Structure 1
Amino acid sequence: MRRLLVLVAALTLTACSQPAPKAQEQPPAPGFPVTVDNCGRKLTFDRPPSKVVTGYHPSLETLLALGLGDRIAGRTYFGESAFLPGQKEQYDRIPQISGTIMLPQKEVMLSQGADFVLDNAMASFDAAGGYATVEELDAAGSPVYILGGWCSPEEVLRFTIDDTFTDLRNLGKIFGVPDRAEKLAGELQARLAEVKQRVAGRTPVKVLATDGGKGPVNAYGGAGVTNQMITMAGGENVLADVKADYTEVSAERISAAQPEALLVSDYATLRGADMPTSPVKAEEAFAIARNSPAARDKRYLALPVAAQHPGYRNLLAVADIARFLHPDAFDQ
C-alpha cells in the first residue's frame, strides 16, 4: 500500500510538472481588432462578442435596438417594466440571471462566462455589495462597458445626449455592425432635428422633474440627462440652477418654482412594491405647488425611469416629452 501511495504521488508530481498545453490563439475576425474608450479604459476586441450579459433595462434595449438580441445570453429582471414595442417578446426569450435590476452576485456573475458585459452605472460592480468588480470581470475575459460613461458621480453630471450616439457607434464597432449602428444613429438624429424644428420659437414650458416626496422632494436639477431632455423638448427646468442630476429639494423651493408641467419618474418595474406610483407622486408635487399652473391643470407625464439613464431610450424620450409640452406643434 505504501509503495502504491508513493507511485501515485510520483505520477501526480510528474503530471503537475508538465506544462499546460497552450490554447491556440485564433486570428482576429475580419474588420478586427477594434478598440474603444470607456471609463478611462481602452477595450480591444478581436472578434464580436457572442455571449453577452446585460444589466439595467436601458442596456438591454439598446442592444435590441441594434438587432443584437441573439448575442445576449443573460439579463436582469425588469418585471412589469414599460417595454418598447416588440422588445418584451425578446426579453422573455433571454435567460434571467438576476431577480433584481442589478447584476447577480460575484460568484454567479463570474460563472456566466460572458465575453461582454453592458450596464448603465457602476452600482453592479461594487465589491462592498458582493458584486464582481470591473477589474475582476476584465481578468475573467468579460470586459465591461458602461453606457453614457456613467463611471463616477462627476461623469454622471457631465453626460450629454451626444454620449448616447457615441455609445451606439462604439457598440456597432464592438459587434461588427458599424453600418447598422450608423443607420440607427442617423434615424435618431433626424428625429431629434424634427423635434427641434417643431418647438423652435415656442415659449419654453416650465417643468419640474420629480421622483416624489412631500418635503424634501426628490427632483432633477440642471445637470445630467433629464435636464437635457427637458431643454431639447422645448422645456425649461425650474431647477436648472441646482447643479445636480438627482437630488433633494425643499418643499419651499418647489412651491416657489411655479411649474407649468411635471415629469414624474415612473418605476413600472416595481409596481406592487411598497413605493408610491406615478399618480401618487404627481399629487404630492401638486399639493406642494398647489398654486402653480401644473397643479391647476393636473398636468404631468409619467416618464419611464429607464429613459432617465443612458441608452437608446433617451433619444426616443425627447420626442415624447416634446409632444407632452407642445402638443399643438405635433398636430400639423
Structure 2
Amino acid sequence: MFVRPLVTLAVTVVALGAAACGTGTTGTGASGDAARAAGEGKTQYPVTISNCGKDYTFDKAPSRVVLMNGGSVAEVSSILALGVQGSVVANAQSYGASDVPGRAEAIKALPTGGVALNAQQDIPREAMLGLRPDFVISTYEGGFSSETGFATRDDLAGIKANTYVPGVSCGATGTVAGTPTIEDSYALLRDLGKIFDVPGRAEQVIAESKKRIEEATAAVAGKPTKNVLLVFPGMGADDFSSIAAAGVWNDVLAKAGGANPFDDPAGTMFATVSKEKLATTAIDAVIVVNYMNPDPEGSAKKILAQFPQWEAAKNQRFLILSDSVYFGPSNDVAVDKIADLLHADGS
C-alpha cells in the first residue's frame, strides 16, 4: 500500500485491507445494478449510520464516491466485493498485488478523478471539493484533518457529502481505536452494504467468508499451534525492522492454527526484532507480505537461510501473501492458505 509515510501506514495498514472482491470465490464482483437486480433494494432510506461518534443520514445510495488512500485497500476491496464500484468517481487506493484473482486489475481500472495527489499520496482539500462527492471514505480520522491539508468532515458536509471511517480506525489522528479482528472486516462490509442498498450482498460475502474460515479452523482443530513469523521485507530499514506485532493478522493466524510470537499486547503494529532474539525464538513458518517486492520468494529464502535452526528453515515452510492478511474483506483467503501451510502434512 504503500506509498504513504510509514508512520501513517502504521495507522491504517490493516490494510490492505485492504481490494477487489470479498472472498477468494467471488471474482471481482457484479455491477451495482446487477447486484440489486439479484434481490437487493432492501435498505429503507433514509438510513442513519453512526460513525466515529456522529450520525450520518443517507437519503439514497451514494453515486459520487471518493476513496482516500491512507495506506489501505480494505475500503476499495469492500466496494468491489459489494458490486457498487460504478459509484466511484475517484479512487486513491492501490496495492499492485492481491491474493484474489483479478483484484489488483479491478482496482487499477477504477477512475482516479485526475487528481494530483499530495506529498502523502492522498487527495488534498481543494481537489476533494472539486470532485463534488456525495460520499467520502477515509481509512482513518486523519484523512479528514485540516492540519494535514485535507477536507474536513464539516467541509464535506457543507457540499452535502457524507463521510465514513472504518469503526476500528476512529479516534484521534495518528491512533487507532483498537487492534482489528476479522469481525471488524465484516463490520465494514455491513456498514457499506446498508449505505449502498446491498445489505444482502454484504451478508452473502460475510457468510461465504465465515464458511471458509470455519472449514479451515475445523481442519486444524487439535493440532499443535505453530509459531509464525510475519514479515514485511523492504518496508523498514531492514528485513527485521518491520515484523508484524499487533494486527488483524493475529486473528487470521489463530484461526489457521498459528500464533505470532511477536504479538504486542500494547497494540504496537510493527516490531523491530534483533537477530539474536529471532535466533532463539522457535519459528515454524515464515510469511512474507508482498508489497512492491520484485522477488518475495527470494526474500523468504534469504530470511530462512539466516536461521537454519528454525523448523521453518528445515522444512522450507514459507508463504507469500499480500492483501488478505490485512483488515479487509478477504481474510478467509489468508486463513485458508495459512492453515494449509502449517498443517497440510498432518502435523
What TM-score do the two structures reach when normalised by structure 2? 0.74
User: SS of the counterpart of 1:312?
Assistant: coil
Tell me the residue number matched to 1:120.
139
* Partners of 1:138 and 1:320 in 2: CA distance: 43
Tell me the residue number matched to 2:181.
160
Q: What's the C-alpha RMSD, in Å, of the aligned pairs?
A: 2.8
Structure 1 counterpart of 2:128, from 94, 109, 119: 109
User: SS of the counterpart of 2:197?
Assistant: coil
User: SS of the counterpart of 2:280?
Assistant: helix
In the TM superposition, residue 264 of structure 1 has moved relative to its aligned partner by 1.4
Check conservation: 2:253, 2:338, Cα contact below 8 A. yes
C-alpha distance 316-231 of structure 1, shift in aligned 2 (>3 A): same
Tell me the residue number matched to 1:54.
67
Structure scoring higher RCO (CA < 8 A, sep ≥ 6) equals: 2
C-alpha distance 215-315 of structure 1, shift in aligned 2 (>3 A): closer
Alignment identity in percent? 30
**Which has the larger share of helix?**
1
Give 1:1-332 correspondences, 5 Å limit.
Answer: 31-55=44-68, 56-76=72-92, 78=94, 80-82=96-98, 84-88=100-104, 90-97=106-113, 102-122=121-141, 124-152=143-171, 155=176, 157-212=178-233, 214=238, 217-221=241-245, 223-240=246-263, 243=266, 244-267=268-291, 270-271=292-293, 277-283=295-301, 285-304=303-322, 306-328=323-345
Unaligned runs of 5+ residues in structure 2 are 1-41
Tell me the residue number matched to 2:15.
none
1:288-309 alpha-carbon deviations (Å, 9 max, x no partner): 53421222333221221x3343
In the TM superposition, residue 57 of structure 1 has moved relative to its aligned partner by 2.3
C-alpha distance 46-285 of structure 1, shift in aligned 2 (>3 A): same
For 1:236, the aligned partner's letter is: A
* Deviant stretches of 4+, over 4 Å: 98-102, 213-216
C-alpha distance 156-256 of structure 1, shift in aligned 2 (>3 A): farther
C-alpha distance 30-84 of structure 1, shift in aligned 2 (>3 A): closer
Unaligned runs of 5+ residues in structure 1 are 1-28
For 2:206, the aligned partner's letter is: A
For 1:47, the aligned partner's letter is: K
C-alpha distance 134-210 of structure 1, shift in aligned 2 (>3 A): farther
Largest Rg, 1 or 2: 1
* Partners of 2:290 and 2:136 in 1: CA distance: 26
Moved more, 132-141 or 92-101: 92-101
Tell me the matched-pair count: 293
